[in-house]
Amino acid sequence: MAVNEKHYILPRAFFEKPVKMLIVVAPYYKQVTDNLIDGATAEIEAAGATYDIAEVPGALEVPTAVGMASRLGDYDGFVALGCIIRGETTHYDTVCNDSSRALQLLGMQGLCIGNGILTVENKDQAELRADPAGQNKGGGAAAAALHLIALARKWGAQSKGVGFKSNA
């Protein structure tokens, strides 16, 4: 992404009822993920939501924790945070692809997830993307999850009108 390139950002989601989120973070590159967390928590708080934070060993464990929390916890949405920096082996490709694919599959099952797992070539790229005053990818992931929660609540409140109505 070019530094001066501008993108459209949706207005912040608005909620009438409380929202509780879980941030799942793999803090392998702690300085980077601390910035991602700062961006995510600022966005969540600005939307009037609350959050918990859970740490996992690595990016591959993030989707597992999200799936477990969706079944065992009481959360409206999830923010997945971490950083994967290319190394000398194909392990990078496996971690990037599998963590992203697993989060996408959970999303297709109806979970509201913002994916803020950075996949970068080097630490400089990671720091630029994680900086809350810069690209703020943590805040963007939280905003994505919040928008999905808003859509789920909107669509969940609508009736499909299937079947028939009794006149009784």
3-state secondary structure 112-153: CEEEEEEEECCHHHHHHHHCCCCCCHHHHHHHHHHHHHHHHH
- Put simply, whether the predicted model's pTM sits higher than 0.85 gets the answer yes
pLDDT in the model for residue 162: 57
Element (H, E) at 85: strand 77-85
Whole-number pLDDT of residue 53: 98
Is beta strand 20-25 parallel, antiparallel or unpaired with respect to 77-85?
parallel
Would you write out the chain's pLDDT as a tens digit for each of its 168 residues? 455 678 898 999 989 999 999 999 999 999 999 999 999 999 999 999 999 999 999 999 999 999 999 999 999 999 999 999 999 999 999 999 999 999 999 999 999 999 999 999 999 999 999 999 999 999 999 999 999 999 999 999 766 555 555 565
Domain regions of the chain by residue span: 20-156
Task: Indicate left, alpha or beta for 159 from its phi (over 0: left) and psi (-120 to 50: alpha).
Answer: beta
Distance CA 48, CA 16 (A): 10
Q: 137-156 vs 123-130: helix axis angle to the nearest 10?
A: 50
Greatest Cα pair distance in the chain? 71
As annotated, the active-site residues are: 91
What is the C-alpha to C-alpha distance for residues 21 and 39, in angstroms, rounded to an integer? 14
Q: Could you say which of 3.40.50.960, 3.90.180.10, 1.25.10.10, 3.30.70.141 is the CATH number of the domain covering 20-156?
A: 3.40.50.960
